[in-house]
Amino acid sequence: AFRGSRARGVSLRLASRFGDLARAGTSFRVPMTSTSRAVSCSTESGPPPWINTLREKFPPRFKDAPDLYWLGGDRGVGGRQVHGEDSVFGLLHGGGAFHDPLLLLDSEKQTVLLVLKTGARTAGHPGMTHGGFTSLLLDEMAGQAYCEFVQHARGPGVTANLSVDFIKPLPTESHVLVTAKVTSIDGRKVRCDVRIVDGESYYDARGEETEGEKKKKDEKDENVFAKATALFVVLAKD
C-alpha cells in the first residue's frame, strides 16, 4: 500500500509539471507513423532494385573482400584501408547491427558508396535507428573517402571533428546508401561531405527524374536521412 501511494504521489507531482504526458505513466508510448521514405526502403519484399543497379554500375572498393570490406585492401602507410583485424565493424556485423554491406567506388564523382541494411535492434526510438549508430556510419564513410583519395599520398589521418545534421528518422531494417567525398584539402586539414540517403535518389534506375529534378530534391534534403561535415587531420610524420 505504501508503494502504491508513493507511486501515485510521484505521478501527481510529475503531472503538475509535465501535464498529460506524465499522467499517462508507464503506459505512454510515442506514436509511430511510417513516412513515405521509410516505406520505400522497406525490406519486407527483398532488396530494392537500386542496389543491383549500383552493383552493376560501380566496382567494389576492395575486390578481395567485396562483402566484408573492412577485411580488404592494404593497411598501413600508403595503403587504402583504415581498419585492422580488430575493427569494430566485424563486431557490429556479427552482432546484427547491419547486414549486406557493399562498399563501392564511383570514380567519376570521386565518391565512395556504402550500401547496407540497418539492423532490427539498432533503434533509439522504436523503429528508428539510434543517432549514435547513424553518426558512426557517417564517420566511417568519411574515413573511407579519406583513405581512397588522400591517404595514399599524404599518409594516415584521423577525425578531428564531425558535425552531424539529423534530417529525418532513419528506419531500422531498411536498405540505405551512405555517400562520402572529399571537398577540400588545406594543408593537413581535409574536409569531407557525407550523407545517408535513399539509394534510388543517387542513381535512378527507372530514369523517371532528370538530373535537375534530383538536384532540387537534394538541395531540399528530401532524399536525405542525415548528413555531416567531417574534418580530418593528416597525422604528423614525426
pLDDT at 154: 87
pLDDT at 143: 94
pLDDT at 80: 81
d(CA 194, CA 180): 4
Does the pTM surpass 0.85? The reply is no
pLDDT in tens, 21-43: 333 333 333 333 333 333 334 34
Stretch 123-144: mean pLDDT: 95
Residue percentage of the chain with pLDDT more than 90? 53
Stretch 54-82: mean pLDDT: 85
pLDDT at 22: 36
Please state which of the ranges 42-46, 73-77, 97-101, 149-153 shows the lowest mean pLDDT. 42-46
pLDDT at 81: 82
